[in-house]
């Protein structure tokens, strides 16, 4: 029997929370415990969680006071950390960070754990996000070695090697880079479907602003300007059309001009740029 624990940061998820709870409750392999950290919800989130707790003894609730605003990135990591500090299962083999606006098949985790069994070097993995749009499931753009932040499974030895999650914007990139730098492999399995009912980044409103912020973070993460430009050109006609690409490049240049501090250490930035050069060579068929 696979021993795994799940930690879910949750804030105002009354619309989709039941889907996630029922998906996990129906798994062929149940978790040892599921710690749902209620991050100051002001809707019926806590009420819904308490409704299921008597039926599923492995669900535990940790409620935090309302800070008054949504705090992406660093806030999510801090919430997960508070949940991790309450884990009671000492001999867990896998830790799952799971958002509560998802659903997945009943054998999702069984199949994912089988992938870990087949590859001892696999340290972090996830299925692939699909968005329900116009009664169809549309695959969200992803790279094969980039597990999605909404649902990540960490092998214990890998989790220990990377010393958990870093409380910085871009934690879900930093963890996979750290894992790879420590000799672990990371994977996104496109055949394992995660239905994500909220678009990634949809809490950030506006057309220009979110992309401007993303460009700033790409500079602070150590992206080469050429790579950011390539991505912006590639997504020129993706929503928000044109203005999103302009926003990203502008944000990058703004951060570079005022010399915003880097978020990733020098070795990680160097490792990331090496990955980006390899990616560009493959895409552009350069020798």
**Percent of residues, the chain, with pLDDT higher than 90:** 80
Q: Which residues contact 180 (CB under 8 A, 6 or more apart)?
A: 145, 186, 271
Helical ranges in 1-142 per DSSP H? 17-25, 45-52, 74-84, 108-118
Question: Which tens digits make up the pLDDT trace of 96-140?
Answer: 999 999 999 999 999 999 999 999 999 999 999 999 998 899 999
Name the nearest CA neighbour of 124 among 150, 92, 146: 146
286, with CB counted inside 10 A (0-12, 13-18, 19+), is exposed
In the numeric block, the tokens 């029997």 are attached to 1
Q: Which residues contact 44 (CB under 8 A, 6 or more apart)?
A: 14
Taking the C-alpha atoms of residue 279 and residue 269, their distance in angstroms, rounded to an integer, is: 15
Q: How is residue 140 annotated by DSSP? A: P
Domain ranges in the chain with CATH number 3.90.550.10: 4-196
pLDDT of amino acid 287:
47
Classify strands 33-39 and 4-10 as parallel, antiparallel or unpaired: parallel
Question: Which tens digits make up the pLDDT trace of 35-57?
Answer: 999 999 999 999 999 999 999 99
Hey, what CATH class is 4-196 in?
Answer: alpha beta
| pTM for this model (two decimals) | 0.91
∠164-170-176 over CA atoms, to 5°?
Answer: 50
Q: Identify whether the C-beta of residue 145 lies closer than 8 Å to the C-beta of residue 187.
A: yes
């Amino acid at each position: 029997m696979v021993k795994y624990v799940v930690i879910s940061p949750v804030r105002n998820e009354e619309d989709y929370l039941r889907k996630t709870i029922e998906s996990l409750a129906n798994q062929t392999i149940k978790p040892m415990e599921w710690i749902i950290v209620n991050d100051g919800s002001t809707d019926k989130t806590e009420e819904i969680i308490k409704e299921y707790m008597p039926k599923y003894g492995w669900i535990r609730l940790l409620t935090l006071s309302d800070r008054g605003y949504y705090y992406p990135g660093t806030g999510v990591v801090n919430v997960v950390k508070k949940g991790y500090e309450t884990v009671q299962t000492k001999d867990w083999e896998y830790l799952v960070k799971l958002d509560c606006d998802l659903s997945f098949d009943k054998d999702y985790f069984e199949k994912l754990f089988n992938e870990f069994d087949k590859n001892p070097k696999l340290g972090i993995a996830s299925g692939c996000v699909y968005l329900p749009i116009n009664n169809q499931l549309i695959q969200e753009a992803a790279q094969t070695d980039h597990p999605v932040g909404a649902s990540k499974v960490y092998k214990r030895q890998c989790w220990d090697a990377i010393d958990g999650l870093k409380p910085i914007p871009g934690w879900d990139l930093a963890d996979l880079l750290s894992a790879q730098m420590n000799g672990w492999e990371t994977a996104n399995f496109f055949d394992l479907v995660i239905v994500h009912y909220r678009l990634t980044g949809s809490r950030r409103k506006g057309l220009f602003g979110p992309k401007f912020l993303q460009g700033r973070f790409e500079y602070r993460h150590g992206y080469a300007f050429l790579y950011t430009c390539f991505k912006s050109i590639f997504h020129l006609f993706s929503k928000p059309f044109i203005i999103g690409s302009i926003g990203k490049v502008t944000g990058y240049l703004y951060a570079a001009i005022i010399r915003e501090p880097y978020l990733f250490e020098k070795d990680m930035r160097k490792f990331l740029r090496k990955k980006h050069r390899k990616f560009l060579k493959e895409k552009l068929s350069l020798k």
